[in-house]
Amino acid sequence: MQPTTTPLITDHSSLITSRFLAACHRQPTDTTPVWFMRQAGRYMAEYRALREKYSLLEICYHPELAAEVTLQPVRAFGVDAAILFADILLPAIPLGVGLEFAKGEGPLLKNPVRTLEDVKNLRPVDPETDLGYVLDSIRILRGELKDTPLIGFCGAPFTVASYIVEGGASREFLKTKTMMYSDPHTWHALMDRLSSVLTDYLLAQIRAGAQAVQVFDSWVGALNPADYVEFVQPYSRRLLQAAQETGVPVIHFGTGTTTLLPAMKAAGGTVLGLDWRIPLDKGWNLIGQDVAIQGNLDPAVLFAPLPEIKKRVTDILRRADGKPGHIFNLGHGILQNTPVNNVKAVVDMVHQGLA
C-alpha cells in the first residue's frame, strides 16, 4: 500500500480511462456508467460474513476492512465506480454528540444539539487525526483499485444536522424545523459549524485520493423551497463549491427533491442526483443540461423479475437519450435483502445499452 498525497487537483489521466469520471464531466462514453448507492452492504454474503465478526463502526475504524468491503461490489458486479465504505455520521463522533449504532435500530445520539450552548460545546474536529481511519481507507483503496475510480462522500449539512438535532432518524423532522423556525440563530450557528467540519472532511478525502465525491442530502426533501434557500442552501453551497474548486466531480444528491432541484443546482454540484419520483428527462430539463445527472431507478425495482427490471432500466436509458453526462444509479441506496443477481443483471443491462 502506497499512501497517496495528491494535491487538490483532479487526476486528469483517469478522465480518459474512466467512463464514470468522463460522464461526470459530460464527456461522451462508450456506454453509460453505473454504480449503486450503498452498493456495499447487507444484501451481499461477503459483507454479512464480515459483519458476523465486526460491527459497522469496527469495519469503518479498520481501514483494511473498510477497503475490503468497498471492493466487494466492484469485484462482484463490475460497477464503474467504487464508493468508500463509511457512514455519513462518522464526523459526528469527534463532535462529541454520543453517537451509537444500536442493533437494528439505526443511529442514536446521546447528546443531541438543541441550544446555542450545545452548538458551542461541539468539539473541534481535525479530519486528519479524528477521521484519519477514513483517509487511510481511501489511501489503501487507491492502491488496490486499478481503473475503477473511488468516490468519497459526506452528508450535507442539513441531513447531518437533522440527525444531530433529532437525536436519530426522523420522519417529521419536527425538532429540526422547530429550531429553524423558533431559534434561527442556533440553527445558523449549527449549520455554520457543520459546513466547516464537513468541508474540511471532504477536502481531506480528496487530498487522500478520492477521485470524485458525493454529498448526501438524503432528507432535504422534507423542506419547502423557501426554507431550503434560507436555512440550507448557503451551507450546502460552501461545502459543494469548496469541493468543486479542487477539480474533482461533485455529486449532489437528495430524495423527494422535485421542488428543490433548481435551488440545489444553484448550491452546487457537477452532477445532480435524482430519486425515482421524477422521470429522468423531466429532472434533467428542470435543472438544465449544463450539469450531469445521476439516477434514478427505484431501489424496490431490484426485487422484481428480470423482465420488469429490464423494462424500467430501458425506460431510464431512453429518457437519458444517450446524451453525455448520465450516470446510472438508483434513486436511493440499495435495500437490505436485494437479490444480488439482480444487481449484477442491472450492471449488464446498463452496459449493454439500448438494443
Distance CA 351, CA 355 (A): 11
Please identify, using beta-carbon distances, which residue of 221 and 247 lies nearer to its own copies: 221
Q: Which of 223, 75, 76 is nearest to 158 (CA)?
A: 223
Please identify, using beta-carbon distances, which residue of 26 and 177 lies nearer to its own copies: 177
Concerning whether 38 is annotated as a catalytic residue, the answer is yes
Concerning whether 61 is annotated as a catalytic residue, the answer is no
Selecting among 11, 42, 47, 61, the annotated active-site residue is 42
What are the cell numbers at 228?
A: 431550503
Shortest Å, Cβ 305 to its own copies: 6
Concerning whether 123 is annotated as a catalytic residue, the answer is no
Shortest Å, Cβ 34 to its own copies: 19
- DSSP single-letter state for residue 269: -
Q: What is the secondary structure of 103-145 as a DSSP string?
A: TTTEEEESS---SHHHHHTSPP--HHHHTHHHHHHHHHHHHH-
Please identify, using beta-carbon distances, which residue of 148 and 176 lies nearer to its own copies: 176
- E-assigned strand segments in the chain: 82-83, 99-102, 106-109, 150-155, 212-217, 250-254, 271-273, 292-297, 326-330
Helices (H), 127-216: 127-130, 132-144, 157-166, 174-182, 184-208
Shortest Å, Cβ 165 to its own copies: 12
Selecting among 19, 26, 38, 193, the annotated active-site residue is 38
Please identify, using beta-carbon distances, which residue of 192 and 298 lies nearer to its own copies: 298
Shortest Å, Cβ 303 to its own copies: 5
Concerning whether 318 is annotated as a catalytic residue, the answer is no
How are beta strands 99-102 and 150-155 bridged, if at all?
A: unpaired
Selecting among 51, 61, 118, 277, the annotated active-site residue is 51
Selecting among 80, 136, 163, 235, the annotated active-site residue is 163
Please identify, using beta-carbon distances, which residue of 178 and 352 lies nearer to its own copies: 178
Concerning whether 163 is annotated as a catalytic residue, the answer is yes
Q: What are phi and psi of 82, to 5 degrees?
A: -100, 140
Interacting residues with its own copies (CB under 8 A): 171-174, 177-178, 181-182, 221, 223-226, 256, 258-259, 276-279, 282, 298-301, 303-305, 308, 315, 335
Shortest Å, Cβ 112 to its own copies: 17
Selecting among 19, 26, 80, 87, the annotated active-site residue is 87
Q: The sheet that has 212-217: what strands, in order across it?
A: 82-83, 150-155, 212-217, 250-254, 271-273, 292-297, 326-330
Active-site residues: which are they? Answer: 38, 42, 51, 87, 163
